[in-house]
Amino acid sequence: MLLRVFLVAIPCYKADWTFALKMMKYARPIVFAAIFASALVAQAQPAGLDPAKLKLGSASALVIDPASHETVYAKSPDDVVPIASITKLMTAMVVLDSHLDLDTTVTIDKDDFDYLKGSRSRLRMGTELTRRDLLQLALMASENRAASALARSYPGGTDAFVAAMNAKAQALGMTHTSFHDSTGLTPLNVSTAHELAIMVGAAAEYPLIRTFTTTPSYYVELQPTGRVLGFNNSNRLVGSEQWDIKLQKTGFINEAGRCLVMMAEIAKKPFVIVLLDSVGKYTRIADANRVKYWLETGNTMPAPKAAPKHARKVKGTIKPVHTADSSSAKHR
């Protein structure tokens, strides 16, 4: 009965995403998963949107309209692929489902170091942070040691945590999804665009996940040193005035390519966007902007105009002016 009411209610209020989020509080995860499952099987395209006009560089992609339960766009949505740090959405759900005290202090130790990919972290061994801060850093800045510490400090340890992740996936109907760690550093963490859309929908039920994934920056005081460190969101679209993002998560390892999942309000409607295996550092961001433009206008996003060549002449030679990349973090 609850599912029937929820399915009827959302279309009636599809322009009011705040109402939909309030309704989520009263729906069990399996109910919301069923809603998204119904969206995934609906193949009719909304009037005015031609999928041929959306050109994406991501190998797998999916756009869902949860209000009308329609698959708006799909590109290889059932391919089983590595999902990198998109994993951390499931990590967060398992932590919150456990009802562990978020104000309990957890200490980073050598078991949280990345010996698989060698990714860097500013959380040194012996650093003490609350479980809440670890959760925020794992979701917002895709901090791998934070995600590892959350799993390690779970009752029964990391093995029990990973088992809970897989049990949650099965309960949500994610039958092609498998987790082997809490960070996404292993390519054995796999899923499909379809099933990640279900996971995004389930994660959106948690207010803390919505808040933590869309916080542009965050400062933490590391104990016992008292040192204060600032962390930025791994998704630069969060700080853009052109976007209204309700939930997001980035991911990257070589085997997965660059990945991005989002729930965003576009043209006054909520959409779930899944972009997997984007080749090139900026492709997932460019693809997200292409999706947004297409949903707003129904047209292909125009190619950017060629930027003027900024160069200066130095002793008879032309020396290009380079812009430094502010992001040095890998494996997100």
pTM: 0.81
| Position 196 pLDDT exceeds 70 | yes
* pLDDT score recorded for residue 190: 98
Architecture of domain 2-320: 3-Layer(aba) Sandwich (3.40)
Nearest to 172 by CA among 208, 136, 204, 134: 204
Q: Which residues contact 244 (CB under 8 A, 6 or more apart)?
A: 264, 265, 266
| Position 33 pLDDT exceeds 90 | no
* pLDDT score recorded for residue 304: 78
Lowest mean pLDDT across 146-160, 163-177, 292-306:
292-306
DSSP 102-156: TTSEEE--GGGS-SSS----S--TT-EEEHHHHHHHHHHS--HHHHHHHHHTSTT
- Quick check: helix, strand or coil at residue 173? coil
Torsional class of 92: left (φ above 0), alpha (ψ -120 to 50), beta (otherwise): alpha
pLDDT in tens, 168-177: 999 999 999 9
Residues 233-256: what's their mean pLDDT?
A: 97
* pLDDT score recorded for residue 40: 52
Alpha-carbon torsion angle 154, 157, 163, 167, nearest 10: -20
Residues 182-200: what's their mean pLDDT?
A: 98
Contact 136, 107 (CB under 8 A): no
Higher-scoring residue by pLDDT: 182, 12: 182
H/E run at residue 82? strand 81-82
* pLDDT score recorded for residue 160: 98
Residue 307 binned pLDDT confidence (cut-offs 50, 70, 90): low
Contact 112, 149 (CB under 8 A): yes
* pLDDT score recorded for residue 48: 72
The residue assigned the tokens 């978020």 is 102
* pLDDT score recorded for residue 41: 45
Q: Which amino acid is at 208?
A: L
Mean pLDDT of the chain: 84
* pLDDT score recorded for residue 330: 55
| Position 12 pLDDT exceeds 60 | no
- Dihedral sign for Cα atoms in the order 38, 42, 46, 51: positive
Alpha-carbon torsion angle 233, 238, 239, 245, nearest 10: -150
| Position 288 pLDDT exceeds 60 | yes
Give the tokens for residue 307: 């930027």
The residue assigned the tokens 């740090």 is 85
Which residues have a catalytic role annotated? 85, 88, 142
Share of the chain above pLDDT 90, in %: 73
- Dihedral sign for Cα atoms in the order 93, 210, 173, 30: positive
Contact 304, 285 (CB under 8 A): no
